Amino acid sequence: MAEISEPYRVGLTADCAEPDGMTIFGDVGLERLTAAGLTWEVMPPIVGHLPNAGDLAGYDAVLSFGHLHFTRDVVSAAPQLKHIARYGAGYDGIDLEGLADAGVVVTNTPLAVRRPLALAALTMVLALGHRLVENHVAATGGRWTDRGNYRGAGVSGRTIGILGLGGVGSDVVRLVAPLGVRVIAPDRPGSREAAAALGVELVDIDRLAAESDYVVVTAALTPSSYHLVGEHFLAAMKPSSYLVNVGRGSLVDQVALTAALRAGSIAGAGLDVLEQEPPAADEPLLHMDNVIVTPHALCWTDDFTKGVATSVIEAIIDVAQGRRPEHVLNPRAAQGLRPKV
């Protein structure tokens, strides 16, 4: 194992961690950092989403639990910083090219997130299709005789539209394959190979909106995918259809979605993400009987924590010891690292 001449300091963002290193995800295995000769500490809380140079000063790596924004200007003013390690798959708000210019490697944990998030999407589809929450409320509210009012549509023979046929979206397709569903996705050059292998029919996005009984959003948030599901898309959906979003809140125009639900343009929604998190107490979506909202945590299971923690800790140790980690988002920044054997 390569020797680290100076203490290699890892800062854990305080948004999801206590001073003793315990996180809202549970134990993430920080003892592995110590065993590798690295030191770690929970950073002072960062105000807002954009840290300043003082927040990052003195750290070689930052383990970012939440969705902080990292820019070239900020990291350039923290010359000791070598690595931003995202706990999870998303990296919206991180200037990948700017950090590459500053020589700061950015990693994430896409493989570890994939199956838990796909299962979260399927959970939403099944809960909506069986009207789980409405039946639960009827039963616990003493309205047993109302059970005939909440018959679900089910999924067999239905069409599921996937917006985002990447790792998570592809895994959703694998999970629903035994359920007798038709799966469609937008026709994108980068999706054709995966679609052919998975038996997914590629259509234009308007047709996807019009033909889907369930639209499942798993896309990454980029400038081009912002409000991917907007007023036009929602207007094309069937009144009997449901929207599920487990990607990012801003993939869906929340105002347009609220209006569509109020108008009965779609049957309901399952949302693990919202545009504003946490939402305001008077957010209308929180008070609709046909909407399931979870706090951006539906995939947080024991296997999620184990997989993501193992991946992120391994990446931090790799960079500290001069190895190129597995999931580098800005390869130019990792050119000086030796290949991992």
227 is catalytic: no
Distance CA 228, CA 226 (A): 5
In a domain, 267, yes or no: yes
Q: Supply 90's token pair.
A: 């998303």
The DSSP call for residue 333 is: G
Residues 44, 104 within the same domain: yes
* Residue 223: partners with Cβ closer than 8 Å, 6 or more residues away: none
pLDDT in tens, 8-54: 999 999 999 999 999 999 999 999 999 999 999 999 999 888 999 99
Q: Please state whether 264 falls in left (phi above 0), alpha (psi between -120 and 50) or beta.
A: left
In a domain, 280, yes or no: yes
In a domain, 339, yes or no: no
The whole-number pLDDT of residue 67 equals 85
Distance CA 333, CA 328 (A): 9
The whole-number pLDDT of residue 199 equals 97
Distance CA 176, CA 223 (A): 30
The model's pTM: 0.92
**Which position among 18, 31, 97, 277 bears the catalytic label?**
277
Residues 204, 122 within the same domain: yes
pLDDT in tens, 263-319: 999 999 999 999 999 999 999 999 999 999 999 999 999 999 999 999 999 999 999
**Which position among 296, 323, 324, 327 bears the catalytic label?**
296
Whose tokens are 């394959």? That residue is 177
Strand ranges for 204-288 from DSSP E: 214-217, 242-245, 268-271
Residue 278: cis peptide before it, omega within 30 degrees of 0: yes
Residue 32: which CATH number? 3.40.50.720
Residues 171, 284 within the same domain: yes
3 is catalytic: no
Host domain of residue 278: 112-293
**Which position among 131, 248, 323, 324 bears the catalytic label?**
248
Distance CA 56, CA 73 (A): 12
248 is catalytic: yes
The DSSP call for residue 258 is: H
The whole-number pLDDT of residue 1 equals 42
Distance CA 84, CA 11 (A): 10
Q: Please state whether 88 falls in left (phi above 0), alpha (psi between -120 and 50) or beta.
A: left
Q: Supply 55's token pair.
A: 């927040």
Count of structural domains, the chain: 2
Residues 176, 197 within the same domain: yes
